[in-house]
């Protein structure tokens, strides 16, 4: 069950997006993301509207928070997860550049979150390894 910890969670919104995007063109995916997901009337009388794209970004941001918390660990699973996170970032970035259906701001933000996840893991591992290495006084 420890291998589950090595899976980068931000692959979930990327796969969810890809499951929809591979069957649609750019215009259709944009229309799908702009559809209303939730509407609430606030006590002030203002109407609070959340689109599918907004909800998708909230999900990805929540997963990014969990990923940043996971990156504080220095276990072997964290090292593997950080490598996989970078691999997922590269693959997603290639899709963003080469497939028009992936050329949306929502997918670009997911890619940015993947980069933040990788960088957080890299920085934490670098700082932790510095503390773990005892330099011999000469």
Ranges of each domain in the chain = 2-128
Q: What is the largest CA-CA distance in the chain?
A: 71
Q: What is the pLDDT along the chain (138 residues), one digit of tens a residue?
A: 666 778 899 999 999 999 999 888 888 999 999 999 999 999 999 999 999 999 999 999 999 999 988 888 777 778 888 889 999 999 999 999 999 999 999 999 999 999 999 998 888 888 776 665 555 555
Give me the DSSP letters along 41-95: E-TTS-EEEEEHHHHHHHHHHHHHHHHHHHTT--SHHHHHHHHHHHHHHHHHHHH
Give how far Cα 39 sits from Cα of 36, 46, 48, 51, 60, Å: 7, 10, 6, 9, 20
Nearest residue to 113 (alpha-carbon basis) of 50, 46, 66? 66
CA distance 123 to 136: 24
- The pTM assigned to this predicted structure is 0.84
* Residue 42 near residue 48 (C-beta atoms within 8 A): yes
């Amino acid at each position: 069950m420890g291998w589950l910890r090595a899976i980068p969670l931000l692959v979930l919104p990327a796969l969810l997006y890809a499951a929809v995007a591979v069957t649609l063109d750019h215009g259709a995916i944009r229309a799908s993301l702009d559809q209303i997901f939730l509407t609430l009337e606030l006590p002030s009388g203002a109407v609070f509207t959340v689109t599918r794209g907004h909800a998708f970004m909230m999900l990805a941001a929540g997963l990014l928070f969990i990923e940043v918390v996971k990156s504080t660990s220095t276990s072997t699973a964290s090292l593997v997860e950080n490598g996989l996170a970078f691999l997922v970032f590269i693959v997603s970035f290639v899709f963003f550049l080469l497939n028009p259906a992936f050329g949306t701001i929502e997918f670009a933000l997911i890619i940015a979150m993947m980069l933040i996840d990788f960088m957080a893991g890299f920085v934490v591992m670098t700082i932790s390894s510095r503390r773990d290495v005892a330099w011999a006084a000469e």
